[in-house]
Chains A and B, each alone.
Chain A
Amino acid sequence: MFRPKLLLTSLAALALGACAPSDPQAVTSAAIASQVILPTYSRWVDADRQLAISALSYCQGKSDLDTARADFLHAQKAWAELQPLLIGPLAEGNRAWQIQFWPDKKNLVGRQVEQLVTAQPQISADELSKSSVVVQGLSAYEYILFDADIDMANAEQKARYCPLLVAIGERQKALAEDILSSWNSNDGMLAQLSKFPNQRYADSHEAIAELLRVQVTALDSLKKKLGTPLGRSTKGVPQPFQAEAWRSKASLSSLQASLASAQTVWAGVDNKGLRGLLPKEQKPLADKIDAAYAESNRQLAALKPPLGDLLASEEGRQQLNAFYDSLNVVHRLHEGELAKALGIQLGFNANDGD
């Protein structure tokens, strides 16, 4: 009884082509997809479902502003955790823009929300999906709940913004559910990161390469999210309003969520992350990357006040610059030594074409 069952199981596994023990890259890719990425996407869907409920409940007067804000922060955190995992459907077709509009150098979020609530005072989620990406996502949601010029305690103002708030909640929920279902569908993203070859990846190495590429892109993007408000590209003049989620003071907590998520791709669950692919002789590199994450986490943990407050003082800016430098070490190690050790070419036309 026992033996045939085992045989059947292993045959089924072979037929699926999954987890061939001879291919550590396939095992790692499948593990990162199922143990790290998919659970994070599921949390994001949950957070956006809650966001949709929360907007409705708040606008119907059944919950207070603090609760609405907390639900936003929860959704913002779930989104931040996705940053190093933007692979597949969510990374394509400009969809990320529909979730968060950053950078917003010209306060397009504020201006377009104001235009929209005037032009379409009773906007639906469906109509919203045809509007500019600037007003479809969390940035517009945050503007409504946190902007200093909006007083949601005022009934008239609340009535002005609530239809859009509810529409954004619905829109984000639908978007997240749509993305998750495209992960779970037949030959969907989960399958494509688990069974090779497929129409997306010619082999498991291509999948690992893309996982590292999105990781490197996310780490670079974290640097930008910190470096832009720090004024690193504006001759040292701080730009506090160019931080992500500055209105809700969630800039640093978002960075923290993204960094933690990046570290999970590296370390994996049960050591089935990118680190597990390094051969024994690369232990010094693995230790170096572990130490870089630890240092970056240590720097970040020391940043107690909100980003805006830190930017206002010389001491704060020094602390932020030190954190930036530590992020830079993490980024460079992934982009350089780790990519090389894993035999991965990160591509150069995308960033430096002609």
Chain B
Amino acid sequence: MMVTDMLRRQALGLGSLLLSAVTFGGWTLFARKGESPLLLSARDDGNGQHFAVGYHVDGTQVFATAVAQRCHDIINHPNLPIALFVARRPGTESYLIDLRDGRLLQTITSQPHRHFYGHAVIHKSGEWLYATENDTTEPGRGLLGVYRFVDERLQRTGEISTHGVGPHQVSWMPDGETLAVANGGIRTEAESRVEMNLDAMEPSLVLMQRDGTLLSKETLAQQMNSVRHMAIASDGTIVAGQQFMGPSHESAELLAIKRPGQPFQAFPVAEQQLQAMAHYTASVAIHNDLRLVALTAPRGNRFFIWDLDSGALKLDAPLPDCAGVGAVTDGFVVTSGQGRCRFYDCRETVLVAKPLELPAGLWDNHLHLV
């Protein structure tokens, strides 16, 4: 039995509300009008136990499922109430979770000589999943593990090159067919987070087809500036957040942009904001309607928002250990590894922070809203 059938049957059993949601195939199941969006994230408890959690932004817990390995990013299925919590580098277990109750549907274990890098995407057909992976026999050789939903399970069917070293985040371009890959450029071995090639890093931004064909590969000026995370606007604008591995007192372009048809280049961030980031960015998000880009810098304990088009700074705010960020209707939701989560209302000129009724602290680097 296909996982699709199984879940549809369960949904039918839950009544017409779910039926209509599933029938229409969209993600209306949770994001019904007037209902607070579902926030998915990896989170720890005070004892270091890892969890895959789902909370409504209003603070209601949907699930908190204990998992063996720490997760990083989360990707939901386009038309089923399931999501993959992806293992954090160099993790070997990703978790397929039922978003209605947090039930663990499947633990996806990485292949021998492979580990996950924390990020994945699911194709709009709902049939294919691509996860960034490391070939530890040739440390850092970037791969996308290709998985298919078959008989209730995700099965690995093969792998394709990311055309770069140490891939991190992978995202879809708006066509839902072209993949963007942030190749961090850093070689690491199995079971290790120690960088092996800081003197010869090869970070790059790659655009490629699903069949593995390379479309473009671009780099930034500084070789030690690791391209890690991306957000992609509906018009195809890519923004990328970097982590700089060079000397502490040097300045680095920690936010970059590739507008449609233009080269990959530094976003015009003022020196004052660059200095505040402590060479490290965690998550980046785009608000399509408001044309804003948001960035978390947990080492600098700083959260930023800029106008995506003009580059004007809209917010530069202290937020200890700010972690994941995602766009909601009127602004951005931000989580923190230390303090309370915030909603930043971005409708007015002066952006206002409102603390959310979510549990405080211990949120991991990314959040995913559905």
Interface residues of A (CB under 8 A from B): 88, 91-94, 97, 101, 108, 132-134, 197, 199-203, 205-206, 209-210, 213, 340, 345-351, 353-354
B272 within 8 A of A: yes
Nearest B-chain residue to A105, judged by Cβ: B247
A345 to B301, CA, bound (A): 14
B276 within 8 A of A: yes
The answer on a CB contact under 8 Å between B302 and A349 is no
Given contacts A200-B318, A350-B321, A353-B299, contact A94 B361 (CB under 8 A): no
A35 to B249, CA, bound (A): 33
Size class of the B contact interface (CB-based, 8 Å): 35 or more
A200 to B337, CA, bound (A): 16
Per-residue CB contact flags for chain B residues 116-148 toward chain A (1 = under 8 Å, else 0) read 001000000000000000000000000000000
Q: Which of B68-122 contact A (CB under 8 A)?
A: 72, 88-89, 118
The answer on a CB contact under 8 Å between A350 and B340 is no
The answer on a CB contact under 8 Å between B249 and A101 is yes
Nearest B-chain residue to A201, judged by Cβ: B339
Q: Which of B172-230 contact A (CB under 8 A)?
A: 228
Nearest A-chain residue to B73, judged by Cβ: A354
Per-residue CB contact flags for chain B residues 139-180 toward chain A (1 = under 8 Å, else 0) read 000000000000000000000000000001000000000000
* Nearest chain A CB to B189 CB, angstrom units: 16
The answer on a CB contact under 8 Å between A94 and B355 is no
B280 within 8 A of A: yes
* Nearest chain A CB to B247 CB, angstrom units: 8
Contact of B88 among A88, A97, A213, A354 (CB under 8 A): A354
Given contacts A93-B275, A199-B353, contact A349 B249 (CB under 8 A): no
Query: What residues of chain A lie closer than 8 Å to B232, measured between beta carbons?
Result: none
Contact of B338 among A101, A197, A347 (CB under 8 A): A347
Given contacts A206-B320, A348-B44, A354-B365, contact A97 B248 (CB under 8 A): yes
Query: What residues of chain B lie closer than 8 Å to A205, measured between beta carbons?
Result: 360
Nearest A-chain residue to B341, judged by Cβ: A202
Other contacts beyond A202-B340, A213-B338, A349-B364: 16, CB < 8 A: A88-B318, A92-B302, A94-B276, A203-B355, A209-B320, A210-B339, A213-B320, A347-B338, A348-B321, A348-B362, A353-B298, A354-B72, A354-B89, A354-B118, A354-B228, A354-B365
A346 to B72, CA, bound (A): 19
Number of contacts between A and B (CB, 8 Å)? 93
Interface residues of B (CB under 8 A from A): 44, 46, 72, 88-89, 118, 168, 228, 248-249, 272, 275-276, 278, 280, 282, 298-302, 317-318, 320-321, 323, 336-340, 342, 353, 355, 360-362, 364-365
* Nearest chain A CB to B280 CB, angstrom units: 7
The answer on a CB contact under 8 Å between A349 and B339 is no
A206 to B355, CA, bound (A): 11
A18 to B183, CA, bound (A): 50
The answer on a CB contact under 8 Å between A349 and B355 is no
Contact of B340 among A94, A199, A203 (CB under 8 A): A203
A205 to B46, CA, bound (A): 16
A235 to B222, CA, bound (A): 31
Given contacts A93-B276, A133-B249, contact A349 B321 (CB under 8 A): yes
A340 to B45, CA, bound (A): 12
Nearest A-chain residue to B351, judged by Cβ: A199
Nearest B-chain residue to A108, judged by Cβ: B249
Query: What residues of chain B lie closer than 8 Å to A93, measured between beta carbons?
Result: 272, 275-276
Query: What residues of chain B lie closer than 8 Å to A94, measured between beta carbons?
Result: 275-276, 278
